[in-house]
Structure formats: structure tokens, C-alpha cells
Chains A and B, each alone.
Chain A
């Protein structure tokens, strides 16, 4: 094992630590700013099995922080691109690819195969889903999240320690906390947080040092401050036995959705009613021939659709704004059927390539 000699020569880590890494199965949820740096190190250091899950494609505005991707990768699937690069970085690693997003329906099935989960997502619904699934399955998970120049890191559900819900019991609404798309992130920040997550993952797997459990690390890049906040386990949060009915951001409504793939199939057979809620500028750049542009900012259902019997499909660039739009539309028109196109134009464009 010459390859790992610089770390096996560490007395606290040693051949024993390396052996534990080689036997470990770690799932990284999200192949973006946090997931990629974490994966590059976990892979380089010799974690035996790495699970990759994401269905997004590489976008031009990802490149300032997702530094595994190059300009040539724009428009390609993150899953395949990341897999190819990680494979050439370490051919000994066993990669398991999940060509999907983590959802309520697949989370338990996917996570149960792993020893540890690294939460490298960019949205609250998936974070709460990962939390609950890990509690149900009794798996620890390494949490990382960002806001501007700041980041959070903690290890949840580790040996009876607190969970994400012990810190933040209920999911905030979309109106409360902006997501990454609207809120800037300085490119280097996810690199720092993702690497801290990788470090904690290594500690959980090998047992070295003191795992960041029961403590939330709050990193403030502008002032180079690292604040550690202690918090306790609320036993009721460890008693979760099943997932909730829904993990939508509103917390109350269930939003119909369809995968981009299934939607393309439907579209081939018969033209569908599609509302495109992106800005007029984005719409001008590219859109589906049959779609009607109703920007989210001035959202109103076109008059001729008010009594529509057919489902109304709603699309945006990535599938997030369309979800918001449906929440609003459904409130105003409870009798109509709306359906979100998952992954939006991003996903559709990769299918038609």
C-alpha cells in the first residue's frame, strides 16, 4: 500500500486506519460545491466504496466553485463527468452511481447500503429527508451548508448524538431563507466546508480524533472565525421510525411532479400544456415550442386555462422556481392539476442532446 504511505505513517492513523477506509462505504449526496471537494479527498485517501448521486448537469455558473468540472464539461451530466474524473484519480475505488435525485421514495433504499452519508445538497427538503432517513436507518451523517461567506459543519446522528432536527426542528419555508440560486456563494467557501466534511467523514470511519458531534461549527470566512456551538440531543428526534409524507418546502402541500424523461415521452405522443415561469429573457434564449411564458414575478394563470381539464405542466430552468409557482397557482386554483417538471430545462436539454 505504498500509495497511502504518507498517511499510514501517521501513528494515530496507521495501516489500521487505512484498512478501515478501504472497507468503508460512503454516500455523497450532491455533486456540487460541497460534494466534489469532499469526494476528491475521500477518493484520493482510499475510501473503498463511494456512492455518487445527482441528476443535475454542469452549468457555466457552477465553474466558479465546482472546480472538478472544466469548461468542456458544461452541458454534460454531473454524475458521469465526476465519475470519470474520480475514476482516473483512483482506479481502486468502487463507485456506485445513482442517476437520480434523492427523494422520499428512494432515500431509504439507497442510504441503507452505506455506512455513512455526506450531506452536500443545496436545499432544505433534501437535508431534512437525509436527516430522517439516516435516523430511521441508524446511520451517521456529515452535514455541511453555506450562506454567502459562511458555512456550517456538524456530524449528526452519531452514536446517539443530536440530529439536524435537534438544531432546527422544522424546515424553514422558502420565503424565510433564500436558496443558493438567489443568494451568492464565494467560490472558495464550499471548498473549505466540503473539505471539513471530508475530514469528519474520515474521523467517523477510522475513529481517530474527536468527531464533531453535538457541536455546530459556524465558519465565517470574512473574519476567519470558527465558532463552535454545543447543542443537545432531543430524544424524540432519535425516535423517528419512518419518513414523513412529504418533504416539499412549503411543508403542507403535495406537489405533483414528473421526471423530465417521462415528460419528453408524453410530449412525443401528444402536445401538452406547459407554463414556463422563467424570465422573458431566459424564455427568449430557449423554450419548448408549446410553452407559454408567465414569469414567476408576475405569475397569473392565462385566462383560457382557468377551466383546463388537462394537467398544466410548469417548467423553469432547474425545477425550483416551477415548484414555487405551483404552490402559488394551486392556492389560487385548487381545482386544477399542476405538475412540476423535475430538473426543468436543464434536464430536458440533456435528454435531447
Chain B
């Protein structure tokens, strides 16, 4: 699944999109919920763990941690931004 990155998450990852595998060849756990996705991304990019309020949108709606995600979902990470 492809994840769109905004704000500081784009700076942390160094790209505006990120691909997350949906099948595992290494036996590594594949994220099935928003919570698992947060953990998965936090392991890959520890800087993301520092963000205390990071909104995750699934199919253009704010998603709770327990929401189930599928490979065809459109996912975006939207951290707060403060500039003016």
C-alpha cells in the first residue's frame, strides 16, 4: 500500500510517498490496522514516534487506531503544521 506523507513526516522519510508491503516474505508482521501501521512506520522511522498527535487518514477520512486497513486503501499521514 502507498502512503502519502505531509508536513514533517515527509521531511522525516525524505519522500512524499512511502510503500508498505502487503505480503510478507520475511515473516515480518504486516500492518492490518491503523495502530499496527503506526508501529510499523515507527520501527522503520523512529523519528515518527516523537509525533504526539499525528493524524492518519484512510480514504479521505480521519481514522481511529482500531480501523482495519487494506492494500487498496488510500492512506495519508497528516501531522499538525504551525507556520503562517
Contacts and interface: CB of A to CB of B under 8 A. Distances in A.
A218 B78 contact: yes
Interface of A: 30, 32-35, 120-124, 127, 144-148, 150-152, 167-170, 172-173, 175-180, 183, 185, 190, 216, 218, 220, 222-223, 227-232
Contact of B76 (A127, A170, A229, A232): A229
B60 A35 contact: no
Interface string B40-84: 000000000011110101001110000000000000101111111
B80 A178 contact: no
A220 B6 contact: yes
Nearest to A127: B82
B62 A227 contact: no
Given A122-B84, A127-B82, A179-B83, A147 B55 contact: no
B7 interface: yes
A185 B62 contact: no
Contacts of A169: 53
Given A220-B6, A230-B62, A179 B55 contact: no
Given A229-B60, A229-B61, A180 B82 contact: yes
Classify chain B: how many residues form its interface, as a range. 20 to 34
A173 B60 contact: no
Contact of B84 (A120, A172, A173, A220): A120
Contacts of A232: 62
A144 B55 contact: no
A167 B55 contact: yes
B62 A32 contact: no
B50 A178 contact: no
B23 interface: no
B83 A122 contact: yes
Contacts of A151: 81
A176 B82 CA distance: 11
Given A172-B51, A223-B16, A146 B83 contact: yes
A177 B12 CA distance: 11
Nearest to B50: A176
A132 B17 CA distance: 34
A34 B4 CA distance: 25
